[in-house]
Amino acid sequence: YGLDAEISRKTGEISYGFAKYLRDALPNASFIGFTGTPIETTDVNTPAVFGNYIDVYDIARAVEDGATVPIYYESRLARIELPDDEKPKIDAEMDEVTEEFGETEAEKTRRAWATVEKLVGTEKRLRLIAEDLVAHFEARLAALDGKAMVVCMSRRICVALYDAIVALRPHWHSDDDAAGVVKVVMTGSASDPVDWQRHIGGKGRRDLLAKRAKDANDPLKLVLVRDMWLTGFDAPSMHTMYVDKPMKGHGLMQAIARVNRVFKDKPAGLVVDYIGIAQSLKTALSTYSGRDGAETGIDERAAVAALQERLEVVRTMFHGFDYARGLNGTPQERLAVLAGAVEWILARQSEAAREVEDDEAKKLELRRFQDAVLALSTAFALASASDEAKVMREEIAFFQTIRIVLVKAAEGNGSGKAAKDFAIQQLLDRSVVSTEIVDVLKAAGLQSPDISILSDEFLAEVQQTEKKNLALEALRKLLAGEIKSRLRTNVVESRRFSERLEQAIARYHGNALSTVEVLQALIDLAKDLRAAHARGEEEGLTPEELAFYDALAENESAVQVLGNASLKVIAHELLKSLRNTVTVDWNHRERARAEMRRAVKRILRKYGYPPDLQDAAVQTVLRQAEVLSAKWAA
């Protein structure tokens, strides 16, 4: 590499770096260099070889563009303490290292490194780090799910720290490389100590662990490394790096970049310093990004300030509503306050949406609280380990719970218990106030209904409840879930009810209906949904036959031409024919789709279905067949 010359100590021949030969071969070429981490801190060599910088895309710009997330720094120094009788020995050894000018710099560095490694890797110190790391990482996971990497000074320390961690959390360990929460990633040989061998494997083991680390859903959460995976390894869900190894310059920059990848709602990466790399980090950042140098190690103070600011924004939304018992009361009191708080926010958002005309502005008003709490949660994730954040945890969790209720209600999907209950975020002991799952229907004073029935008793309760906004969201959620469940059987009927639901909610948001009126509209819709269950029996059709009947009868002129009785016969024959024709994945294979299409057309022509309506009917029948065919194929 490079332009340097080297003389062989065996032959005396001079050889040069590839760059020199390349330039000799192409004397008139322009040479452009791309580097993420210039090795010389003052860039003396890089501009000399390639000329001045054409363009610099630094860390600050990448964060601004959303290409990466910012990296925060937290100092948690694990001090190296020595007994008094050991200090003279260490001082003498260090003096020997620095005074032996006959040694090469590399040899002196190796000896100094070995000395420091002994100090860093003491059993007492590693035990303290393990205790702090486990507590810190569990707090991080409570605020933001993801993964972490621990960078150790040596393979010996990797193994010793692993043992200290699993002593605290035995269930994190597994002898199986495909299981377990924590792993060591390192190379080695048969000559290494016996207790290292379980952590040493070939490329197959490393590839398996890399795959697990990159999978956000895999239980592997924590990896310990010395040098491996510090460059070129991307696990976007990795949000924390614990550093217990002296690093500097481009090596440090490449390492911390493991936690700056964009992933879902990950707000930032965090570098936790156990050994004292703050000055090295400041120097590296100032070298590789002029703008970032001034922001080195954005510490907890900045994160806490942002957290306090965003918390105040959410607090103002509850001006006039006392939610103190939601933080300090009994579980039953918290439930009652939660229900009232949801009702309060729904009412405020509905009022705000009614005051604006633009549809986008309405949507913004209807999610203002949710967006504010999301921003608050992001700020909390960054500052969650700080003392200031600890006193805010219960209040933040209260707001997060309300947001979960509103978001779950807005999703309008699911069936069974998921469709009956608003699943509330579990209030874990470090960041929340309870571990109860809250049934918001019950909190609103309603009995949880059988979603497939939507009884008159339940609908009467909805009509009479004082918490109209909460009842509206509960009923809308239930109806949306019921309609979605119909989609698995009857495409046309599901679409028809879905449109009615959307139109009612749109009229409500457009001030055409009051809360009471839209509740009545949804109650009427619920009764029609319930009546639809009995429609097939009244017509003498099975649910599947009724689905094809609806597909044929969607066009009213076809009903007028053929009549009810003929459409029932066609529906029965369509069901029988298509069930016999269907094959696995037919809807993904054009030849199979064509065969199904021909089968439908033959039956429609046989019974005189109006030719001008056939194409639309065929498409609807095939969509219906797609929904039912998975069950048929099984």
| pLDDT at residue 473 greater than cutoff 80 | no
Lowest mean pLDDT among 176-190, 310-324, 432-446, 491-505: 432-446
pTM over 0.75: no
What pLDDT, on a 0 to 100 scale, did the predictor assign at position 317?
93
| pLDDT at residue 176 greater than cutoff 90 | yes
What pLDDT, on a 0 to 100 scale, did the predictor assign at position 355?
84
| pLDDT at residue 292 greater than cutoff 50 | no
Q: What is the spatial distance between Cα 365 and Cα 470, in angstroms, rounded to a whole number?
A: 17
Of 139 and 190, the structure prediction assigns the larger pLDDT to: 139
Q: Mean pLDDT, to the nearest integer, of 143-155?
A: 93
| pLDDT at residue 450 greater than cutoff 70 | no
Q: Mean pLDDT, to the nearest integer, of 3-7?
A: 54
How confident is residue 612, by pLDDT bands cut at 50, 70 and 90?
Answer: confident
What pLDDT, on a 0 to 100 scale, did the predictor assign at position 114?
67
| pLDDT at residue 486 greater than cutoff 80 | no
Q: What is the spatial distance between Cα 128 and Cα 233, in angstroms, rounded to a whole number?
A: 29
Nearest-CA neighbor of 45 among 1, 16, 2?
Answer: 2
Phi–psi pair at 246, nearest 5 degrees: -60, 125
How confident is residue 2, by pLDDT bands cut at 50, 70 and 90?
Answer: low
Of 420 and 518, the structure prediction assigns the larger pLDDT to: 518
Tens of pLDDT along 13-65?
A: 557 678 778 878 998 888 788 877 666 543 345 654 566 678 888 777 888 88
Q: Mean pLDDT, to the nearest integer, of 522-549?
A: 81
Say if residue 72 is exposed, middle or buried (CB neighbours under 10 Å; 0-12, 13-18, 19+).
Answer: buried
Tokens (6 digits) for 449: 């209904």
Amino acid at 320: G
Most confident residue range from 55-64, 406-415, 460-469 = 55-64
SS3 412: coil
Q: Percent of the chain having pLDDT more than 70?
A: 74
How confident is residue 229, by pLDDT bands cut at 50, 70 and 90?
Answer: very high
The helix, strand and coil proportions of the chain, stated in percent and rounded to the nearest 5, come to 60, 5, 35
What pLDDT, on a 0 to 100 scale, did the predictor assign at position 32?
82
